[in-house]
Amino acid sequence: MKPKVYITRRIPEHIVKRINKTCEVRMWDHEDIPIPYEILEKEIEEIDGLLCLLTETIDDALIRKAKNLKIIANMAVGYNNIDINSATTHGIMVTNTPDVLTETTADLTFGLLMATARRLIEASDYLKSGEWKTWSPMQLTGLDIHGATLGIIGLGRIGEALVRRAKGFDMKVLYSNRSRKYEQEYELGINYTSLENLLLESDFVCVMVPYTSETKNLIDSEQLSLMKENAVLINTARGGIVNEIALYKALKYREIWGAGIDVFENEPVSLDHPLLTLPNVVTLPHIGSASIATRTKMANLAVTNLMTALQNEKPQNLLNDIYFIN
């Protein structure tokens, strides 16, 4: 009997075909509508493999419904949507899709930093709405990026890729991290510092840590109050790492200069969210890895992980300690 696989969102047909050859595949065939929890709850009961996105909460209650599940292949590098402990307890492998999205996400992070500093969205709106009457010395003036100090909170793969972009702009780079990375300091020419000092000294602060119970609200009113008045906060990691209400207040009362936000605590963010009312915030709908090539690579990698696990082999991007019975 062929293994049963469920895919929680439409992915390109040629990628589905890779699974179709050896598995029985069902898919939530929608592009913009996430699968309702109750449907996934039913689907998960009989399947052997699940390919899901960061939009699905794969919690303990859901995992307990699965009778045959061997693998949860997440199509994302972040996996805070999955209860890994529960999966491990039930002998279910969990995989993610690192590396393939590193450069694309660093591109977007640096692009968001530039858009925020140079007020690109505001300037474009200004022109299109007919407000542009003349060139004027201080009109739509922003912040210089070249020569400024960039602080990276969490020096993982994407953080390192961001450093390479920043170095092209002659930026001085500071980083804070759980552990010090001497090799990267030497190779990339960056300086390690405490989170507090990074916040005090940086002109641009980029949040790049994974979202865990330890990093929830890592950037709160206390941390924001340490930042310079003309500093910019960029978050392309996960929403809950920055306290959104504290950020709103810091921006509204000009305790910091601006923010570029690609991720929200609740996505899609509600249109009456206070952050959306501020002129000094650039907001994006979680598009860090959204290039055609990278999303295709992510889907392919998730499928490879899934198929490998269904063949009782160890997938390349296994996140939990599971033993294999051949």
List of residues contacting ligand DGY (CB under 6 A): 54, 76-78, 101, 288-289
Cβ pair 176, 199 in contact under 8 A: no
Cα-based distances in Å from 206 to 7, 41, 231, 233, 254: 33, 37, 11, 6, 18
Q: How far is the CB of 50 from ligand DGY (least distance, A)?
A: 17
Nearer to ligand DGY, 243 or 289 (CB): 289
- Burial category of 87 from C-beta neighbours within 10 Å (exposed 0-12, middle 13-18, buried 19 and up): buried
Cβ pair 162, 208 in contact under 8 A: yes
Tokens at residue 312, please?
Answer: 């009782």
Compute the distance between CA of residue 244 and CA of residue 287 in angstroms, rounded to an integer: 19
Nearer to ligand DGY, 149 or 235 (CB): 235
Greatest extent of the chain over all pairs of C-alpha atoms, in Å: 73
CA dihedral 215, 220, 226, 231 (to 10 degrees): 90
Q: How far is the CB of 101 from ligand DGY (least distance, A)?
A: 5
Catalytic residues: 238, 267, 286
Nearer to ligand DGY, 221 or 296 (CB): 296
Q: How far is the CB of 191 from ligand DGY (least distance, A)?
A: 27
Q: How far is the CB of 289 from ligand DGY (least distance, A)?
A: 3
